[in-house]
């Protein structure tokens, strides 16, 4: 019974940390230094939840979302299904690919840490994007309604749309802090790691666009 109770307790602790990272991120990222299989498994579900929600939030901000209702086959229910499945899978894909890019950048600057830990840092850093799904997007959808998903809808200005980038910036700050805390690096070294990963990721995306992917 004790052996079964401990993993459950550990999983609940990581669920709490998934929320705590928004308020007190340093202890959360410090806990990621333990990369043992048991601990990594305990935090896998909270990370999946954060990544899935963050992915939904991100696809809602894409130009594709802004023209979904141009297709008469789409309605509100289908948009919700598209956002949940497409966004969640997008979040998971970015989690694995972005974690790899982050790991390569960290390796270039001297880390001996694992790819798994790099992914987990990225996963917890995505918490602000996950938060935007319950804090920002409901408000924006309530204000813009279906116009948000239709080309040529009522223009409410760019201020509301640009507010999403506050959550993006918050995520980047947490990612730098996470890299710094996990590795015990300076701010400059951690920022260089995230910057190098961001540039590499942007190059890959641009190449994909040019090649038609």
Lowest mean per-residue pLDDT among 13-22, 107-116, 196-205: 196-205
Q: Give tens-digit pLDDT for 86-121.
A: 999 999 999 999 999 999 999 999 998 999 999 999
Give the integer Cα–Cα distance in Å for 151 and 161.
15
The total of structural domains in the chain comes to 1
126 backbone dihedrals φ, ψ, rounded to 5°:
-80, 0
State how far the Cα of 109 lies from the Cα of 104, in Å rounded to an integer: 9
Opening angle at CA 34, ends 33 and 36, nearest 5:
140
What pLDDT score was predicted for residue 8?
A: 54
Residue where the block lists tokens 């996963």: 123
With cut-offs at 50, 70 and 90, classify the pLDDT of residue 1: very low
What integer best gives the mean pLDDT of the chain? Answer: 89
Region of residue 152 (phi > 0: left; psi between -120 and 50: alpha; otherwise: beta)? left
As a whole number, mean pLDDT of residues 27-39 equals: 95
Instruction: Give CA–CA dist 96/98, Å, rounded.
Output: 6
pLDDT range class, residue 209, cuts 50, 70, 90: low
Q: What is the pLDDT of residues 38-84, one digit of tens each?
A: 999 999 999 999 999 999 999 999 989 988 988 888 888 999 999 99
Distance CA 139, CA 171 (A): 20
Q: For residue 107, what are the domain limits?
A: 2-210
């Amino acid at each position: 019974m004790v052996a079964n109770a401990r993993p459950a307790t550990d999983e609940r602790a990581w669920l709490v940390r998934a929320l705590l990272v928004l308020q007190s991120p340093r202890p959360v990222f410090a806990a990621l230094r333990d990369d043992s299989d048991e601990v990594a498994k305990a935090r896998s579900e909270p990370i999946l939840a954060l990544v899935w929600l963050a992915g939904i939030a991100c696809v809602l901000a894409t130009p594709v979302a802004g023209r979904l209702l141009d297709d008469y086959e789409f309605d509100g229910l289908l948009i919700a299904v598209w956002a949940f499945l497409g966004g969640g899978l997008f979040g998971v894909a970015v989690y694995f690919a972005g974690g790899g890019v982050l790991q390569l950048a960290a390796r270039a600057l001297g880390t001996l840490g694992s790819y798994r830990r790099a992914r987990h840092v990225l996963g917890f850093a995505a918490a602000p994007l996950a938060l935007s799904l319950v804090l920002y997007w409901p408000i924006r959808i309530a204000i813009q309604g279906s116009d948000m998903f239709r080309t040529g809808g009522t223009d409410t200005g760019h201020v509301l749309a640009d507010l999403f980038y506050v959550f993006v910036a918050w995520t980047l700050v947490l990612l730098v802090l996470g890299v710094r805390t996990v590795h015990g690096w300076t701010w400059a070294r951690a920022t260089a790691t995230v910057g190098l990963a961001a540039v590499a990721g942007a190059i890959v995306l641009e190449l994909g666009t040019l090649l038609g992917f």
